[in-house]
Amino acid sequence: MSKRPKLDHQRTTTNNDNREEETSSVVEYEYVYLKQAPRNVTHVRIPSTVTKISMNSFCSCKSLVEVVLNDGLREIGSNAFNNCTTLKSITLPSSINVVNTGAFSECSSLNEVVLNEGLKKIGVRAFINCKALQSITIPSTINEIGRNAFKSCNSLSEVVLNEGLKMIGEEGFRECKSLESILLLRRLKMVHLKIVQIYRR
């Protein structure tokens, strides 16, 4: 059995049933499938036994600053981390296949996203309005980037698209005002004409 990663703080127990507020500045939560996390959670560990994070699980948890995703996780549900405005970084393990619609949308402080080989699809609006995100590298295992996936990521200045990618949906990188370069390592089979918007300065 593999060791679970340690979080860099002292554990505090939360009430998983009624989402009551607690006074502690550090609130750790170990995910339970189909239960919505307390609004005041600050640190989350996803056990290796969990294969899917259900939709809206951590939606609008605005105190959430750290998420540990273990190998074994296969899917992140729609809007699972939507509007987690203090979350600054996320690393997806190689076991994840799909990031669904709006999974990390409106995470305005998210400035680092690490996508590992194994991921196959980034869903519609998955990272829309992640205004602090500065760069993104798309692994070679990804086949599809959905519509509006990175729309309005205002700080995004560099995108690397690796071989394996077949389709970028409509307005995939639209309104990325800082975008200076898109490095494409192979020809795509389908690119929507409106994936980006050109800003004149």
Supply the CATH number for residue 172's domain.
Answer: 3.80.10.10
Residues whose CB is less than 8 angstroms from the CB of residue 6 and which lie 6 or more positions away in sequence, other chains included: none
- pLDDT > 60? residue 41: yes
Whole-number pLDDT of residue 163: 85
User: Is residue 32 a part of any domain in this protein?
Assistant: no
Q: Given phi > 0 = left and psi -120 to 50 = alpha, else beta, which region is 83?
A: left
User: Is residue 19 a part of any domain in this protein?
Assistant: no
Is beta strand 112-115 parallel, antiparallel or unpaired with respect to 135-138? unpaired
What average pLDDT does this structure show over 34-45?
91
Exposed (0-12), middle (13-18) or buried (19+): which is 111, by Cβ within 10 Å?
middle
Q: How many domains does the chain have?
A: 1
CA 192, CA 185: separation in Å to the nearest integer? 17
User: Is residue 13 a part of any domain in this protein?
Assistant: no
Q: Which amino acid is at 37?
A: A
Whole-number pLDDT of residue 14: 43
User: Is residue 139 a part of any domain in this protein?
Assistant: yes
CA 82, CA 22: separation in Å to the nearest integer? 22
Question: Per residue in 132-161, pLDDT tens?
Answer: 999 999 999 999 999 999 999 999 999 999
Question: Per residue in 163-179, pLDDT tens?
Answer: 888 889 989 999 999 98
Say if CB 65 and CB 81 are below 8 A apart.
Answer: no
Domain of 141 in residue numbering reads as 37-201
